[in-house]
Copies of this chain bind each other. A is one copy, B any other.
Amino acid sequence: MALVNPHGKEKKLKPLLLTGAALEEEKKKAKSLNQVRISSRETGDLIMMGIGGFTPLTGFMTRADWEGVCKKFTMADGTFWPIPITVSTTKGQADTLKVGEEVALVSEENGELMATMKITEKYELSAKDKEFECQSIYKTTDMEHPGVAMVMKQAEVNLAGPVKVLSQGAFPREYPGIYLTPAESRKLFEEKGWSTVAAFQTRNPMHRSHEYLTKIAIETCDGVFIHMLLGKLKPGDIPSDTRQKAIDTLIEKYFVKDTVLVGGYPLDMRYAGPREALLHALFRQNYGCSHLIIGRDHAGVGDYYGPFDAQKIFDEIPAGALETKPLKIDWTFYCTKCDGMASMKTCPHGKEDRLILSGTKLRKMLSEGTEVPDHFSRPEVLEILRAYYAGLTEKVEIKTHKYSEGA
């Protein structure tokens, strides 16, 4: 059996990153081009196009693509796609740029030259258009929602056109061995003889409930791909080095060799819940994963989505839209009467038998040095998290906030 095919009609990875002489030549040419400054989210999207994670995209989306994706999950050429992938600039700059012109896309954070783009279309998004995008994708126009805020605050004019990607930013340097391209993960899966691989999306350290999710996947698939978000998170999240150390230790002590692979990908979180779950499945297909674990409140934030909306949406898209299938799992926990891990679907017992801790409560316990109840997390993992909290020179404000603890 073989791995799932990359997304799109051609069933072939389409990395847009230039290499070798072509890269040097394009970089040289880029010096003379007008520059468009791009945000962290846009940079992450661009790198994903570069490494083939967003196959079969060839660049940023046109107005027809944008509208089709919002309205019916479909680009103008019929390709299934759940979230607009767009780049924007101010009306002021847009007026100085011509359709047909090539521009350089430059990181607003550090000025790095990321790509060149041939502009094929400029289209303004009115406030009403942006609200339509937010309502379609995020199911809300509430500015408290971090994904909505990103869209509403972006500049007025979207630029569409094919891109040539020139850099992967700091990811290869900062996360050696963890940051993987789809071609690399596919090669590693094949070397292990895996054909069914479940991806586990994470932006947090893993406790027993997360371990249980991945172990259910290992019981039924060839292996699990613990796939960490390396892009921007929200304040208060555990930084990636501590998270990685905790996950590595968990794997070393509690997983069988060659049933698990850890990797990272360069996107920022959008917190779009169900729509983002579809995007997560789509790019996992490019990475070679046959399944994506979808637990409670996947990619959610606050109370904007029902806890299992991100599972249900997979039943609403056309059959065959994605080869990668959801591995839908209910809310998981340790139960004393079950004498082990369970979920709402497998444990018939009461609240009093179940060990459920919110992430907020856990952070409070760890930073205050209180004992965490047995069975909640592996002692080796808690030790690493305790050391992290103890080492914080500035006291982190631990407060109850609206952010969820989903994947």
Residues in B with CB closer than 8 Å to A257 are 348
Complex contact B327–A220 (CB within 8 A): yes
* A283-B253 Cα distance, complex, nearest whole Å: 41
Complex contact A340–B343 (CB within 8 A): no
In angstroms, how far is the closest chain B Cβ from the Cβ of A14? 27
Is A155 part of the contact surface with B, judged by Cβ < 8 Å?
no
Complex contact A343–B254 (CB within 8 A): no
Complex contact A219–B346 (CB within 8 A): yes
Residues in B with CB closer than 8 Å to A344 are 256
If A256-B347, A348-B255 touch, does A342 touch B215 (CB 8 Å cutoff)?
yes
In angstroms, how far is the closest chain B Cβ from the Cβ of A314? 10
Chain B residue nearest to A214 in the complex (CB): B346
Is A210 part of the contact surface with B, judged by Cβ < 8 Å?
no
Is A329 part of the contact surface with B, judged by Cβ < 8 Å?
yes
Residues in B with CB closer than 8 Å to A328 are 220
Is A341 part of the contact surface with B, judged by Cβ < 8 Å?
yes
Total interface residues on A, using CB and 8 Å? 29
Residues in B with CB closer than 8 Å to A215 are 342, 346
In angstroms, how far is the closest chain B Cβ from the Cβ of A336? 12
Residue of A254, A255, A346, A375 with most partner-chain B CB within 10 A: A346
If A254-B338, A341-B340, A348-B257 touch, does A219 touch B218 (CB 8 Å cutoff)?
no
Residues in B with CB closer than 8 Å to A218 are 345-346
* A348-B250 Cα distance, complex, nearest whole Å: 11
Is A77 part of the contact surface with B, judged by Cβ < 8 Å?
no
* A329-B216 Cα distance, complex, nearest whole Å: 10
In angstroms, how far is the closest chain B Cβ from the Cβ of A219? 5
Residue of A220, A341, A343, A348 with most partner-chain B CB within 10 A: A220
- Which residues of A does B touch, CB under 8 Å? 1, 215-216, 218-220, 253-257, 259, 315, 327-330, 338-348, 375
